[in-house]
Structure 1
């Protein structure tokens, strides 16, 4: 009986002289991830709930990604910190299995959500009708429920092989006992899934590049029509209308709220109608001063083009951070089949994956004006009671 108890304790230990000092760095790093990730992801969810400008179909996917990160940071990360600090798993074996399942579930749903974000961005700029069908309110609910259900069904069968893994000092599936099923899951989830995300962003980049060229042609055509109106203005204006309609359809990529995009489109088109129905004044014909209507349409197009790049850059950055945080760990596990690599290297690459669960809110704050304003509003409201206390004191 005593021998069995000692064997169990040894199986739940990851002690090694090589990581005895490193564990304190890992514990501090884990605490920073827990605090930053919990506060940041919770603020993302609250911002979506309280700011009407953020309640869009696209941001539903952002909130789902925040929920998976919050699950990891708030519930799972503290147990990882404890195991690193004491170099052993101090909870029950049952919770070790639950922990391993939840970690795999969180990672899998994150990958699915990144795929849906990339797909939604591509459909919105390239195939708007299909976007409205696939990412309707009912479609979004179905997609998100499917992501969680599929992930649970995929990793649920590994219940018997979730164990404490000494190399990474945390609970996960056994490296060899779950093969080849685990190999197939990892290949499908990381290689196929993330490759699809990369392909969608390449398509988005190509489409935005074509749209940018079209906008430049529109500006040139608009300036020419203002300076030298010709009898063929009717034909030229119809082509300009087409460019404006396309650019406004893509503007919804950044605006988030579809109604706002439609208003900007209607505004630009009405400005063009004014140019067609009213003869230009002397001020209009005097180069290089354009009309107010032209300035408004130019301003709208410039903002649309600029924000299209911003939102695409933000989504791409979120995806790249996910890839960069996991690629070293995956490459090490793939290359070191015989477990010859130092335990310190395994633990460091595992700690690097923790970054993914807390970095997204920081990216939203830096790269998205609406999220930044919503975060500021939440922090201001949270600080109000302390402000009143300092005034009375």
Structure 2
């Protein structure tokens, strides 16, 4: 019996050595060997009947690393279960990932705070529509303040910190999934808000009040948590994801991954596309009406009369609208800004969504997963920059919050004073005369108010 066991061990030892040296099957082939605790025989982890066999199941051969590593922790402790973390063996990628996500965390946190302060403190930005922008910034701040730093920890020390602390991992996942889903539903709510304002202006004051907008934002958060609830009650589970170096829903449970992408990406995406498509068609229709009036009047009038005719055409178009139009040029510009934010969001999150739906972790190089998570979480830092670049009102709000407007005004007044005095102080006579003139003007204004 002992001779048989020694022969068996020698056979499997030679097999493992031959596979590790020759790299049979290449990257992506998976092998697992386990030792039976009862008999001491080496056997395949998945083979209940056959003991003298090995199967392709769980351990991935990495010839460039020179050893066999496990793809995930699906087997019990008797098997070879050490997960392969790409960044542990590629220091350059680890440094780049940590630096980029860390920078996104800092920029995103400061930028989203700036958005919230601008909307709350600048009167021209305090609108019902921007309540949803604030809600989106809050969701992005959860990512930049909490999730991004944990992603950096996962990239640098995920095995020692997140994999060995299931409680911390559960907390991170419980914040990550609802915040990301809330961002997408906020994009949908913003597009529908712009749609009602521009395409159905007579309904906007009735549908969107301050109270109803806040209630809608609260409902978005409730919906995001309800859609993530199945992951906590048995459908799926939260764990450290070794492709993205972050604790999130278990993508091995593919059915829940499909459910998450459908409810958190596809359905709100349909709402976003509907809203912005309708806005585009409405704005184009209004522009075509104005151009038609301009062309019809230009053929019948002189150059001087054409100017008057264009004004009449604009007046005629306004007559066809309600007396108080529901949207202005600034509203259309804001809609364009928000649509640009949506496009950036879609580009950043599309690779992640496609990888979850494809569910082929071994068919895609690991560095592509690293780029996908950098793009996804980097999106939370993009919106503040995008708003400032594309929308004048937000730029003005940023300047006001940062105190730049005051400095510009002080500089202008200083230049005016310097120009008036030519760099010299006025004499006492001129000061007295100006004082008398000032008092006279103040008295006259008082009389006029009376």
Indicate whether the TM-score tops 0.5: yes
Which residue in 2 is equivalent to 1:188? 263
Is 2:161 the counterpart of 1:90?
Answer: yes
CA distance in 1, matches of 2:246, 2:315: 63
CA deviation string 1:286-344 (max 9, x = no partner) = xxxxxxxxxxxxxxxxxxxxxx2x32321111010010001112222323435332222
Match of 1:147 among 213, 217, 220: 220
CA distance in 2, matches of 1:237, 1:254: 18
Which residue in 2 is equivalent to 1:343? 366
Greater relative CO, 1 or 2 (CA 8 Å, sep 6+): 1
CA distance in 2, matches of 1:347, 1:210: 44
Is 2:354 the counterpart of 1:331?
Answer: yes
Deviation of the 1:238 alpha carbon: 8.0
CA distance in 2, matches of 1:123, 1:143: 15
CA distance in 2, matches of 1:380, 1:318: 26
CA distance in 1, matches of 2:291, 2:270: 32
Structure 2: where are the runs of 5+ without partners? 1-75, 307-311, 408-450
Shift in CA distance, 201/240, structure 1 to aligned 2, threshold 3 Å: closer
TM-score (norm 2): 0.64
Which residue in 2 is equivalent to 1:275? none
CA distance in 1, matches of 2:313, 2:86: 75
Which residue in 1 is equivalent to 2:282? 207
CA deviation string 1:186-245 (max 9, x = no partner) = 1132122112211221111111000111223455577768839xxxxxx98984442465
CA distance in 1, matches of 2:406, 2:324: 41
Which residue in 2 is equivalent to 1:162? 238
CA deviation string 1:43-73 (max 9, x = no partner) = 0011112111111011111111111111110
8 A contact 2:131–2:214 mirrored in 1: no
- Helix, strand or coil for the counterpart of 2:239? strand
Which residue in 2 is equivalent to 1:197? 272
Shift in CA distance, 64/236, structure 1 to aligned 2, threshold 3 Å: closer
Higher share in helix: 1
Is 2:330 the counterpart of 1:254?
Answer: yes
Structure 1: where are the runs of 5+ without partners? 229-234, 256-307, 385-393
Deviation of the 1:375 alpha carbon: 1.0
Deviation of the 1:119 alpha carbon: 0.6
TM-score (norm 1): 0.73
Shift in CA distance, 22/48, structure 1 to aligned 2, threshold 3 Å: same
Is 2:331 the counterpart of 1:227?
Answer: no
8 A contact 2:87–2:155 mirrored in 1: no
What is the alpha-carbon root mean square deviation over aligned residues? Answer: 3.3
CA deviation string 1:250-280 (max 9, x = no partner) = 31x625xxxxxxxxxxxxxxxxxxxxxxxxx
8 A contact 1:88–1:169 mirrored in 2: no
Shift in CA distance, 216/248, structure 1 to aligned 2, threshold 3 Å: farther
Moved more, 149-158 or 132-141: 132-141
Residue-pair matches, total: 320
CA distance in 2, matches of 1:361, 1:338: 33
